[in-house]
Amino acid sequence: MSRYFFLLIFFCAFSFSSFSQELSDKSIKVGAGLAINEGYREIGTGTVFQLGYQKQYWENRLRLNPYMLTGGFIPFGITDTPDQYFRITTLGTNLYLDVIRIKPFSLFAGTGLWANYSRGLIGTGGMDEPRTSSDYFFRTYIGGSLHAGIRLAPQKSRLAWEITPFNVHFGSGYFMLGYLKIGVDISL
């Protein structure tokens, strides 16, 4: 899956470079990251992938980004918990602001609202857990998010790169999602 994701980024980056250099204030935003997620019954570490649309305002310093985030989680590195295998799908909207901008580099901060659907399996009832049974769960969460990172957006390029080490989603039912994300914006 991740191989196809990076091939899509590679294809888009080079196919857009053959078009005219008139840059738009609209872009496709893609990203991938490492995450830890905790909910009402579930906890795990895993990977997340993001796909969204982005529109820029106010001399390209303010960005509105509706997106979809998906990820898979297991209890890797987490003790005192039964085996868990679960996925999340999040639909949300973020608003980013370049707080400090020096030519192509900027430090940005953002906030957002989202809705999340988590589903998976808790407890496998395997060899390590002979007296337990498996249980499927399906749960919906809503909440807000905070973000901060570094952005590189060369003026004549169709690509803008982001490293976002601080992404925190918090919400109902004890939901908390934190992740480190690397992303690219591809101007349309």
Domain boundaries, the chain: 24-187
Range with lowest mean pLDDT among 35-39, 97-101, 119-123: 119-123
The reported pLDDT for the residue numbered 112 is 98
The reported pLDDT for the residue numbered 69 is 98
41 has pLDDT over 80: yes
N residues, the chain: 188
pLDDT band at 28 (very low <50, low <70, confident <90, very high): very high
5 has pLDDT over 70: no
Which CATH code of 2.10.109.10, 2.40.160.20, 1.10.540.10, 2.170.120.40 fits the domain covering 24-187? Answer: 2.40.160.20
Please provide the DSSP assignment of 136-164 as one string. Answer: EEEEEEEEEEEEEEEEE--TT-SEEEEEE
Q: Can you tell me the distance from the alpha carbon of 188 to that of 178, in angstroms, rounded to the nearest whole number?
A: 29
Q: Which whole number is the average pLDDT over 11-19?
A: 50
The reported pLDDT for the residue numbered 135 is 87
The reported pLDDT for the residue numbered 20 is 47
142 has pLDDT over 90: yes
19 has pLDDT over 50: no
Cα dist from 40 to 48, 89, 136, whole Å: 19, 16, 13
The reported pLDDT for the residue numbered 123 is 82
pLDDT band at 168 (very low <50, low <70, confident <90, very high): very high
